[in-house]
Amino acid sequence: MASFVIHHIVGENFLTLLDKKLEITLNPIEQKQFLLGNLVVDSTRISKEIPDNLDSFEKQQLKRKIALAIQEEKIKTHFRNPNTVDQTIQAPIPNRFIHKYYDLFDHNPAVLGYLVHLYTDKYFFDDLFRATFEMVDRNNNPVIYDREVDHIHIYKTGENQSPKKFWSDRGMYRDYTLMNHYLLDCFHTKFDEQDLMKATTYFHNPGIEEVDFENIGQVLHETASYIQESNQMKDAKLRIFDEEKIRSFVPTVLSQFVDLYPDLIEKTLIR
């Protein structure tokens, strides 16, 4: 899924789009409600803390256990189909969220922010992923299920990588960090952890059962850390993702969102 940093960049640019293209200007409180709603989707009830007294093997095992538990939780928070957990790509289904919480959109920017997050991840998986690489079996046939994957074919380089290498700090997760760096360079950000933390005093859950709004501080802290990490990176090239597709990611997501959901934008923001 898209990183915390990418989601915040999309959120900030959505507010700019509202102001400049749709002539809808939100007040500062509404803006922060929207930005927090956009980020709270990635909050988790599961602690990510790793005790210092564990040896390296135990830490690795605990990290894997935490990652699996978080992915299980995100089936609900990201409104994925619980019947497709064994598939290689599991994108959110925004219409599941809309159908369940349509009435909550009334004048509540946080709910619209939640939907923007879901759509961003849907595009990330269904469009960007599929345009970047392909999961195949040992006969190079495309596959749907994780158990059938032999290797991943990367379109940009023509390279085939094992799942272990692809889903590691040498593969996809290296590009994830570089993607943050690249988009921060392209779009910049006004992210202010302390300012957004102050805004959490009036950030209340309107009734979304799948996520705990009280955990938003965790996401804000991690987002700040990722931004700091990305800003310290030296220039490096993406090995998996195409630079032009990354550059167009934010405006494409926002353009599609505005075209798809004008009624919900109006329901939320037009008084």
Express as a percent the part of the chain with pLDDT over 70: 96
Widest CA span in the chain: 57
- Per-residue pLDDT tens for 195-228? 999 999 999 999 999 999 999 999 999 999 999 9
Beta carbons of 132 and 241 less than 8 angstroms apart:
yes
CB atoms within 10 A of CB 88: 19
Find the radius of gyration of the CA atoms of the chain. Answer: 19
pLDDT tens digit string along 107-124? 999 999 999 999 999 999
CA dihedral 95, 100, 106, 112 (to 10 degrees): -40
Contact 196, 173 (CB under 8 A): no
What pLDDT is attached to residue 62?
Answer: 65
Instruction: Give the length of the chain.
Output: 271
- Return the percent helix, strand and coil in the chain, to nearest 5: 60, 5, 35
Is a pLDDT exceeding 70 seen at residue 271? no
Q: Give me the residue spans of the domains in the chain.
A: 4-269
Q: How many CB atoms lie within 10 A of CB 183?
A: 22
The answer to whether residue 91 scores a pLDDT higher than 70 is yes
**Are 222 and 180 within 8 A, CB to CB?**
no
Q: What are phi and psi of 33, to 5 degrees?
A: -60, -45
The better pLDDT of the pair 56, 112 is held by: 112
How many Cα atoms sit within 13 Å of 266 on the Cβ side? 5
**Residue 50: what pLDDT?**
74
Beta bridge partners of 151: 136
Q: State the Cα–Cα distance between residues 71 and 68, nearest whole angstrom.
A: 5
Interval 20-26 mean pLDDT: 90
| pLDDT exceeds 70 at position 45 | yes
- Residue 127 burial by Cβ neighbours in a 10 Å radius (0-12, 13-18, 19+): middle
pLDDT tier at 36, thresholds 50, 70, 90: very high
Q: Which residues pair with 161 in a beta bridge?
A: 152
Banded pLDDT at 56 (limits 50, 70, 90): confident
> Highest mean pLDDT range out of 25-39, 157-171, 174-188?
25-39
Dihedral-angle region of residue 79 (phi above 0 means left; psi in -120 to 50 means alpha; beta otherwise):
left
Residue 42 pLDDT > 90? yes
Cβ atoms of 44 and 73 closer than 8 Å:
yes
On whether the CB atoms of residues 93 and 239 are closer than 8 A, the answer is: no
Residue 242: how many other CB atoms lie within 10 Å: 14
The phi and psi torsions of 50 (rounded to 5 degrees) equal -115, 115
Portion of the chain with pLDDT greater than 90, in percent: 74
- C-alpha 144/C-alpha 201 separation (Å) is 44
